[in-house]
Amino acid sequence: MQYKIREMKKTDWPVVYNIYRQGMETNLATFTVEDLSYEEFDQERLQKGRFVLLDDQQVIGWTTLKQAYTDPEYVGVAEVSIYIADGYQGKKAGSTLLNYLIDYSEKIGFWTLESDIFANNLGSQRLHEKCGFRIVGYRERLGKDRYGVWRDTVLMERRSKKVGID
């Protein structure tokens, strides 16, 4: 498949949110279970690094960066979110989008990307590993899922080889 990537627009929100809801429904992707407005989404994500993946003209995935820490010393560390629509997992959609985000993030000065993934979400862990992430931690009972069950996560990170770390 030949995918295209472009910057996310506000008008993409209904489709982006639908893909996000699909992730919520799997109970593998996020602790978030409440409805999320575009304004809330917009405020918690960086303005740079918001991309959608297209199959023809249809949005089939999205990714964003979020500042990982508020201290200025960590300005080059970002948390990654990536969601792929049902039916496109295992079709190189995730790796296409994540590799694009990685290249972009390095161009704008990020030296570390991290992702907190449910411990039983092996597909997401494999995707991140395939794109150069490694597990750096296991976090027990980090939060409760939509059913009130405590969930463990793995913390994965990718360190840039391009952005100089002195």
Residue-level pLDDT at 78:
96
Domains, the chain, ordered by start = 4-159 (3.40.630.30)
The two structure tokens encoding residue 139: 């976090």
pTM of the model: 0.93
Q: How far apart are CA 145 and CA 143, in angstroms?
A: 7
Residue-level pLDDT at 163:
62
CA distances from 121 to 2, 77, 124 (A): 26, 23, 6
The one-digit pLDDT tens for each residue of the chain (166 residues) are 789 999 999 999 999 999 999 988 888 888 776 788 999 999 999 999 999 999 999 999 999 999 998 888 888 999 999 999 999 988 999 999 999 999 999 999 999 999 999 999 999 999 999 999 999 999 999 999 888 999 999 999 999 987 665 5
Q: Please tell me the number of Cα atoms within 13 Å of 62 on its side-chain side.
A: 23
DSSP 48-78: SS-EEEEETTEEEEEEEEEES-SSGGGTTEE
Residue-level pLDDT at 165:
57
